[in-house]
Structure formats: C-alpha cells, structure tokens
Structure 1
C-alpha cells in the first residue's frame, strides 16, 4: 500500500439511498430506505488494475453481514476490497506484517480488537461499502431476503464504483487489451444473492466477468470476507449504542438486540420500540397479547 498521506488524500466517500428495488421481477417500494455508505481509494485502484501487466488479474471482494438474529434494529451488510497482495486465504497469511495482521472472523475477536481494526480496514481497503437494512424492510420481505438484498446492493454499488478503474475483458471489443480483470465476489454463508446483471452490464461488467462464490464460515477463511465482517459488525454495534442512548431502560448496549432474558423483561416492562422487528416471533407474540 501507499504511504499514509496518499491513501488518505485519494479516498473518495460516497452515499447511496435505495427506496425502490426490483426483486426477482417484482418492483417493490421499500417500507424504509436502505442506506449505503462507503469509500473508494481511486489511486490504489488505478495503480493495481489499470497499469498492471498481469494476465487475468482477479479483484477479490468479500461480503458479510451482522445482525440476522436480533429482535431489534437493522441488519448490516458490508463489502470490502483489500489490496491484491493482502487478499486470499487467511491460513496462507497474506496479512502477515501488515497493519491488518490480527484480522480474522469478527466473532473470534474481542470488541476492543474489532474497534481497533475498524478504522484500519476503512483506511487500507481499496474500496468498501456498508448497507443498513432497517427493521421495517426486514418485516416487509423477511430476514433472509433482507440479508440477500443487503449483500446484493453492497456488491452492485461497489462494483459500479470500481468499474471505471478496471480492465474488464470484453469479448465484443475490437481492442485486444493486454490484461483483464475477473471479479471474485466471496459471500459469507451458503448462498449468493441474485445480482442485477443488466445494471452491471451498463457500467461495463459482464456476467462472465463475475465469479460469485458462497463460503460457509468464510469470515474465518478469506481476508476480504473477514474485513467485511469487521465493517458490518462494528457498524451495527454503533447503531445499537445510539439506540441505547435513546432508550437506556432497555439495556441495548449489553444485549445488542438479541433475545436475552434482560431484553425480554425490558420489552414486557416498557413495550415495543419502533426499531423492533415485528415479524420476529418473540416481538409478534407480545404485540398479539
């Protein structure tokens, strides 16, 4: 990676708001907007993917989520692209002697270590995006589809942002480029979301250039998924601390929205909050009673 000064200066932040979405041919107005925010390190992308003489250079993007199980708040999804030399299987130690050397599955790290890694991932990633999929959307389309939507949007938004800086192989082009980029998108879990191929083709990324892979426990296996897991987990924790400040009587800072005894007792005593997921059985039962 470049020195600290150039990394900082070349970072371009971006924000995207999604209010309507096409899911499997069905056009849906979301109950609440999905907010995506991130950053692109343009100079590093140019250096690695526009000037490289390597054949078949693969750009690796990791995608992970945090917050599928809680009764409260958003599910957060993140995608991250690490420098090519830092991307790969954790067991091969591509992060050895880098600022991210302690990076692994966020669930295996203490909150203190995650908080240390969070700004480092943001600083050294060539690009990243975090999606906040609100409880209202989870209730609207269910938690699995909300998670898949977050993964899809993170992937599409980040690919659209990086597309101008990639040499994408184009079979229809008369120009024979000396190298091209294949994009590997590594999703934590056992399934990949359906990407909007038409949207990606508009920015020059053909379906044939994207290799989507599902990795069970991928956050403990791939550096890019582990980086995404840090972004998703810490981002979600931040939203929980904000809610805790608003509603201190619920003890949210301790249970982070999970269905603990203390959380259920707080619900029984103080009622359901706007951020509670009404489609989740424990909350639904309280509402029905």
Structure 2
C-alpha cells in the first residue's frame, strides 16, 4: 500500500492497486486490479483517539462504518467504502448526532436525491477523520462472484484504514505498547473475514476488532451512512465516465442496471468490456451471438 503524507495539512493519502490477495495463506492473482483511494486526516479528534501514555497501555477506540454500492447492475464496478467520522458525530441516526454539523442531512444514500448525495460527497471527504473507497472491477466480479467481490472490498477498505491508523500510532507515540480497539460496522447481514495475520504484523490483534453486521445499517448509523455516500457517488462518477466513452448505451440514465433501454443497447451494440459476463442477462446475450 502506498501512503503519502502532505505535511502542510497533515493528511495521509492512501493509494493502492491490489493485484494479489491472500486468502487463508493462498495468494490469488486477480483478473484486474482493485483500486483503493482514501485518506487519514490528523485532526485533534483523531489525535485524542491515538494518544498513548508513555509506558502504559491505554485503550484506543475507533468506529468504522462500511457500505457498498452497485451489487445489482450488469455493468461496471461494485464500490465499497469505509469511513471514520469524528467521535461526536458517530452514532445512531435517530439520536440526531449530526444536528448542527455539515453532515446534518446525512442518511441512507438510497433515501437521498442525487443532488443531495453530490452535495454530501465532498463534505464527507472533508470532515471524515479517515475514509477508503475500493473499486472492484467487473472482471473481478466475474472471477469470484459478486458476493465475494463485495466482501473482499469491505475487507480491503477496513484493513487499509486500520493499517493507516496503526502506522500513525507508531509514528506519533513513544509508548512501546498500545491496545487499539476498533468497532467495524458493516451494512448487511454478514461480515467479511479480515486478514488477521496481516493486521497482527501492525500490532492489531483479532480480539481487538469487533466486527458487527447491521441490516439496513446505512439508515441506522451515521458512520455507515457516510460510507454509503462515498460508495454510491464514487460509483456514479465511474458510470458518467463510461457514459462519455459509450454514449449509445445511455449509461448515465440507468447506471448499469438492467433496464429495458440498457438491454436493448446491449442487443444492438454488443457487450462492453465493463459488462459483468457472469450475470445471467449478459451471459444470455453472449450465448445467443
């Protein structure tokens, strides 16, 4: 993972193209790279979380929300995002923890208009203590299936944030021991299996990670909702780029979902490299050529 530090603003940029993944000790070569992008902002709030007392063990607690966008479309990537909000902003949406903050309108991205999502997207980036977005391309979805691709994206985003935090602890503190406690909230009904061997090399133990699955979590918890905005808008941006390259497919209108217009375009113009060939509607078109 490439980590760059901007000294003026104290922002650690997270950038990585993942081509190999370790699954229970076996390395798998991916059909296409998974791109991770994000940052960790070294604010006073984050520094309070990271603060250690010399020669003592102090618990450090992080709350990370994780969500995805784009599991259903026939075209393009599935995007996953993880976000750490300021501690005072991280909590149940119904408790109105975001009142009088720049993210006051934040909720499940599916309940917001595109205009509101686009407004929130830079605000989440600017105000989150840290975030990572993973773009898992169609070739990887076809290789390992959409569920596993989504779980892999959730795993990689979570690990990238945890590693960035752990490295910052090592850089910022003189304590020889610390106990980083992390609560990771995944939208949905299951949690990915993290690479705890890798995390242990950064001083993060399996027992210190509390992974929780939250059904409809993007409408329940602010951190998951923040991640949902990052995942949804980043994917939409990719769809708009594809639309500019292939205007005859009207991608900007359907975002890759199996609408009538999309299916007619596939039959008329063919299957694009970005189409998910393992999905039945696309597979049938290919079989009938």
Q: What TM-score, normalized to structure 1? A: 0.90
Equivalent position of 1:248 in the other structure? 247
Name stretches of at least 5 consecutive residues in structure 2 with no aligned partner: 1-7
Equivalent position of 1:66 in the other structure? 69
Q: CA deviation at 1:10?
A: 2.3
Q: CA deviation at 1:56?
A: 4.6
| Residue-pair matches, total | 276
| Aligned-residue CA RMSD (Å) | 2.2
Paired with 2:160 and 2:22, the residues of 1 have a C-alpha distance of 15
Matched, 1:140 2:139: no
Name stretches of at least 5 consecutive residues in structure 1 with no aligned partner: 1-7, 168-173
Paired with 2:154 and 2:265, the residues of 1 have a C-alpha distance of 32
Matched, 1:224 2:223: yes
Paired with 2:31 and 2:199, the residues of 1 have a C-alpha distance of 25
Specify which of 128, 133, 136 is matched with residue 130 of structure 1: 133
Equivalent position of 2:212 in the other structure? 213
Contact 1:44 1:126 in 2 (8 A): no
Contact 1:45 1:165 in 2 (8 A): no
Paired with 1:46 and 1:252, the residues of 2 have a C-alpha distance of 40
Q: CA deviation at 1:59?
A: 1.0
Paired with 1:46 and 1:118, the residues of 2 have a C-alpha distance of 21
Contact 1:82 1:224 in 2 (8 A): yes
SS of the residue corresponding to residue 9 of structure 1 reads: coil
Contact 1:64 1:187 in 2 (8 A): yes
Q: CA deviation at 1:213?
A: 0.3
SS of the residue corresponding to residue 99 of structure 2 reads: coil
Contact 2:277 2:283 in 1 (8 A): yes
Q: CA deviation at 1:94?
A: 1.0
Would you identify which runs of 4 or more consecutive aligned residues in structure 1 move more than 4 Å?
A: 174-177
Matched, 1:160 2:163: yes
Describe how 1:36-185 pairs up with structure 2 within 5 A. Answer: 36-44=36-44, 46-51=46-51, 56-166=59-169, 180-185=179-184
Paired with 1:64 and 1:57, the residues of 2 have a C-alpha distance of 23
Structure 1's 214 and 51: CA in aligned 2 closer, same or farther, altered over 3 A? same
Give per-residue Cα distances to partners, 1:120-152, cap 9 Å, x unaligned: 000000100000000000000000000000000
Equivalent position of 2:18 in the other structure? 18
Paired with 1:26 and 1:16, the residues of 2 have a C-alpha distance of 20
Paired with 2:35 and 2:123, the residues of 1 have a C-alpha distance of 22
Paired with 1:150 and 1:44, the residues of 2 have a C-alpha distance of 29
Paired with 2:16 and 2:38, the residues of 1 have a C-alpha distance of 9
Give per-residue Cα distances to partners, 1:42-72, cap 9 Å, x unaligned: 234652213389x755310000000000000
SS of the residue corresponding to residue 226 of structure 2 reads: helix
Equivalent position of 1:268 in the other structure? 267
Contact 2:46 2:129 in 1 (8 A): no
Paired with 1:148 and 1:120, the residues of 2 have a C-alpha distance of 26
Q: What TM-score, normalized to structure 2? A: 0.90
